[in-house]
Chain A
Amino acid sequence: MGLDRRVFMGGAAVAASSLAMPYGFAKGNGTPKVVVIGGGAGGATAARYLAKDSKGALDVTLIEPSRSYYTCFFSNLYLGGFKNLDDLAHSYGTLASGYGVNVVHDWAVGVDRDKKYVRLAGGARVPYDKLILSPGIDFVEGSVAGWDILAQNKMPHAYKAGSQTELLKAQVMAMPAGGVFAMVAPPNPFRCPPGPYERISMVAYLLKTHNPTAKILVADPKPKFSKMALFQEGWGTHYDGMIDWIGPDFGGDNVVVNPDEMTLSIDGEVTKVDVCNVIPAMKAGRIAEVADVSDGRWAPVHARDMSSKADKDIHVLGDAALQGDMPKSGFAANSQAKVCANAIRGALTGSKIFPAKFSNTCWSLIDDDDGVKVGASYKATDEKIAKVSGFISKTGEDAATRANNYKESEGWYAGITKDMFG
């Protein structure tokens, strides 16, 4: 583990070979192989663009255990009742049939960086010339006192969409009249910075109609959060008196949960709660550690092509990457995937490599037809992905603007899922 010989030599080899011999892998040994681990916004997009743009010149394999993928983005809208769970589900059929991606539904459990193959839980070895890791997030053990993954049925995280999201919604719907919904919000950095606060808004929306005397308690280790002014304005306007947000000044960073007793202790003050949504601290998906490209938390990458700083033939996308200024979002992963796919295709087939350009926009729904957005554009520097410019919705905007934001977010959802899955 840690800094080993491969890390050091890998770095030197990048400098020597990237310009001198771009076709190194492509000649002689048949079609160059790209293996992608993880079929979310980063991995699915990368697989699709590699297959689409190389027109058969690359052999693309996507390894993803789920047959149906539930997008984490928009899953809060399912909680609020604006989307059905089915609306969030996507299959990999078109990537296989329409683009020729070899989709393997299995877990990647090992990476041999010297012999360049991926080991699957089923036992198979999948060789690669270039490997893309887009595993999303895992949770940091012990980050919320009293909680571990075995408690996720009593206190769901619902931060990987699917059964957890369904469970959380069922728990909210089963709350007794006047009950308490609690959230333990995560420390930075984490997937989808506005996500916990959009979730609070959607739970409030649900409770307002089904259980209007219920209360929402948020324990937050952070003094401020994404779109804070917009959310707090909206909470005041739409859900006045329902939401109690407790930042670190009041003990939001000193939390203990007890899943058996269903209690939450904030700074020693114990509260009995009916639902407790625990969103622990996060780190790169496990395979980043297995491949030894993680710094213990995230996988450092070069901004120009998302290649790992530990191995020139491994690229890391999306939430798992330590890249600089971009938030961990599906939009960002999708954006990074296209830069990465272009660079890998260039390296393996000699196609032209265009300069890296990234962008991100995150929409959040606060109430019915009250949508807000934040976004920025980014460039690659030698050190990191660096922010160039950005915008954010304003407080006090008129209803038409906010309604249009929501409509636009629906258009974006349709667009990005097509961009990922074809």
Chain B
Amino acid sequence: MVSGLRLFLMTATGIWFGLFLLGQAAFAVDLGDKEKGRKLFKLCKHCHQIGQGAKNRIGPHLNLLFGRKAASIDGFRYSKGIKRAAAGGLEWHADTLSAYLENPKNLVSGTRMNFVGMKDLDQRMDLIAYLRLFSDNPADIPEADPTVSDAGHDLDPAILALKGDPDYGDYLSGECTACHQTSGQDDGVPSIVAWPEDDFVRAMHAYKKQVRQHPVMQMIAGRLSDDEIASLAAFFANIKE
């Protein structure tokens, strides 16, 4: 009665797939100036070590960072937030590092990396060029990891300046509250309540541009307009149940 063949045949024929999301898109753009980056690393070294003999301190060591899955160094105690981002597919490349350095909480909600953020794109590229010195592969051949550069998540200030309509946000929020709780409770899906509006807008645009990894969120954000994102940000920033 039990026929493995039937099962095998079905496996071979009946498969369907939905849309797959590409991981990291490659943009061959020069990184910044590694010497300037070396100086900028002063901002990092209270918590992170890099280079020969580097160890985990407050933050994990940064050797062999490029192409590495987030939260993947054995023995380091990572936050729940970054472990979740890692499970969602976050890897460290120039574009994700740039987004993270710009404002860590935009890319990884709940990260313990307590860094105010580096707003200047050139500075970020300089710092990333320096970090790149301590990873595998020559940095200057096109196939190597760091040729992935800033993927344009630097938001147009006009988008950040948009004033959302909280009533529209209230209606649109129905799509969020199928999973995210309005009380802010996190039972496996993170809280999105009472975020600063800018952070909310940046995070949603990072999903929209697929810099931030999560298939559900990329799908939801992918069809929200700039105004709709602003409206959701306005609603969730001041939510009252």
Binding site for B on A (CB under 8 A): 49, 53, 215, 217, 223-225, 228-229, 232-233, 235-236, 241, 243-247, 249-250, 269, 271, 331, 334-335, 338-339, 342, 352, 354, 357, 359, 361, 373-377, 388-392, 394, 400-401, 403-404, 407-416, 418-419
Given pairs A224-B14, A229-B11, A419-B178, 5 additional interface contacts (CB within 8 A)? A215-B1, A244-B7, A247-B6, A250-B6, A359-B175
Residue contact B18 to A392, C-beta cutoff 8 Å: yes
Q: CA of A232 to CA of B229 in the docked complex: distance in angstroms?
A: 39
Known: A390-B18, A401-B89. A411 touches B187 (CB 8 A): yes
Residue contact B181 to A418, C-beta cutoff 8 Å: yes
User: Secondary structure at chain B's binding surface: helix, strand, loop or mixed?
Assistant: loop
**6 tightest A-B contacts by CB?**
A411-B188, A411-B189, A404-B87, A338-B174, A414-B187, A224-B14
Q: Which residues of B contact A376 (CB under 8 A)?
A: 18, 219
Q: B110 an interface residue at 8 Å Cβ cutoff? A: no
Residue contact A412 to B189, C-beta cutoff 8 Å: yes
Binding site for A on B (CB under 8 A): 1-4, 6-7, 9-11, 14-21, 84, 86-89, 167-168, 170-172, 174-175, 177-183, 185-190, 215-216, 218-220, 222-223
Which chain B residue has the least Cβ–Cβ distance from A345?
B171
The listed residue with most A CB atoms (<10 A of its CB), out of B2, B19, B89, is B2
Q: Which residues of A contact B18 (CB under 8 A)?
A: 374, 376, 390-392
Residue among A271, A338, A388, A415 making CB contact with B1, cutoff 8 Å: A271
Q: Which residues of B contact A375 (CB under 8 A)?
A: 215-216, 219
Give the shortest distance, in Å, between A223 (CB) and chain B (any CB).
6
Residue contact A215 to B2, C-beta cutoff 8 Å: yes
Known: A376-B18, A400-B86. A359 touches B219 (CB 8 A): yes
Residue among B87, B185, B216 making CB contact with A403, cutoff 8 Å: B87
Residue contact B87 to A389, C-beta cutoff 8 Å: no
Q: Which residues of B contact A412 (CB under 8 A)?
A: 178-179, 188-189
Q: CA of A376 to CA of B84 in the docked complex: distance in angstroms?
A: 22
Q: CA of A225 to CA of B215 in the docked complex: distance in angstroms?
A: 21
Known: A245-B10, A394-B20, A415-B180. A404 touches B175 (CB 8 A): no
Residue contact A334 to B178, C-beta cutoff 8 Å: yes
Residue contact B1 to A217, C-beta cutoff 8 Å: yes
Q: CA of A53 to CA of B20 in the docked complex: distance in angstroms?
A: 37
Residue among B20, B171, B189 making CB contact with A342, cutoff 8 Å: B171
Residue contact B6 to A245, C-beta cutoff 8 Å: yes
Residue contact A229 to B16, C-beta cutoff 8 Å: yes
Residue contact B219 to A377, C-beta cutoff 8 Å: yes
Give the shortest distance, in Å, between A16 (CB) and chain B (any CB).
26
Q: CA of A228 to CA of B9 in the docked complex: distance in angstroms?
A: 12
Which chain B residue has the least Cβ–Cβ distance from A358?
B175
Give the shortest distance, in Å, between A392 (CB) and chain B (any CB).
4
Q: CA of A224 to CA of B222 in the docked complex: distance in angstroms?
A: 29
Which chain B residue has the least Cβ–Cβ distance from A406?
B188
Known: A217-B1, A338-B174. A415 touches B181 (CB 8 A): yes
Q: CA of A235 to CA of B6 in the docked complex: distance in angstroms?
A: 13
Q: 7 A–B contact pairs at CB < 8 A?
A: A217-B2, A232-B11, A233-B11, A338-B171, A375-B216, A376-B219, A412-B189
Which chain B residue has the least Cβ–Cβ distance from A337?
B174
Residue among A224, A243, A401, A409 making CB contact with B7, cutoff 8 Å: A243
Residue contact B188 to A414, C-beta cutoff 8 Å: yes
Q: CA of A414 to CA of B88 in the docked complex: distance in angstroms?
A: 20
The listed residue with most A CB atoms (<10 A of its CB), out of B4, B182, B215, is B215
Q: Which residues of B contact A373 (CB under 8 A)?
A: 215-216
The listed residue with most A CB atoms (<10 A of its CB), out of B16, B20, B167, B172, is B16
Which chain A residue has the least Cβ–Cβ distance from B11?
A232
Q: CA of A407 to CA of B186 in the docked complex: distance in angstroms?
A: 11
Residue among B17, B89, B223 making CB contact with A389, cutoff 8 Å: B223
Q: CA of A390 to CA of B215 in the docked complex: distance in angstroms?
A: 9
Residue among A392, A409, A415 making CB contact with B17, cutoff 8 Å: A392
Residue contact A409 to B188, C-beta cutoff 8 Å: yes
Which chain B residue has the least Cβ–Cβ distance from A393?
B215
Q: Which residues of B contact A361 (CB under 8 A)?
A: 179, 216
Q: CA of A247 to CA of B1 in the docked complex: distance in angstroms?
A: 14
Residue contact A418 to B21, C-beta cutoff 8 Å: no
Give the shortest distance, in Å, between B15 (CB) and chain A (any CB).
4
Q: CA of A373 to CA of B186 in the docked complex: distance in angstroms?
A: 19
Residue contact A224 to B223, C-beta cutoff 8 Å: no
Q: CA of A342 to CA of B219 in the docked complex: distance in angstroms?
A: 23
Known: A49-B174, A411-B179. A244 touches B188 (CB 8 A): no
Give the shortest distance, in Å, between A141 (CB) and chain B (any CB).
30
Q: CA of A335 to CA of B185 in the docked complex: distance in angstroms?
A: 21
Q: Which residues of B contact A243 (CB under 8 A)?
A: 7
Q: CA of A292 to CA of B189 in the docked complex: distance in angstroms?
A: 41
Q: Which residues of B contact A416 (CB under 8 A)?
A: 178-179
Known: A375-B216, A400-B87. A228 touches B10 (CB 8 A): yes
Known: A245-B7, A335-B178, A415-B187. A390 touches B17 (CB 8 A): no
Which chain B residue has the least Cβ–Cβ distance from A339?
B174
Q: Which residues of B contact A401 (CB under 8 A)?
A: 87-89
Q: Which residues of B contact A415 (CB under 8 A)?
A: 177-181, 187, 189
Q: Which residues of B contact A411 (CB under 8 A)?
A: 179, 186-190
Q: CA of A247 to CA of B3 in the docked complex: distance in angstroms?
A: 12
Q: Which residues of B contact A392 (CB under 8 A)?
A: 17-20
Residue contact A228 to B15, C-beta cutoff 8 Å: yes
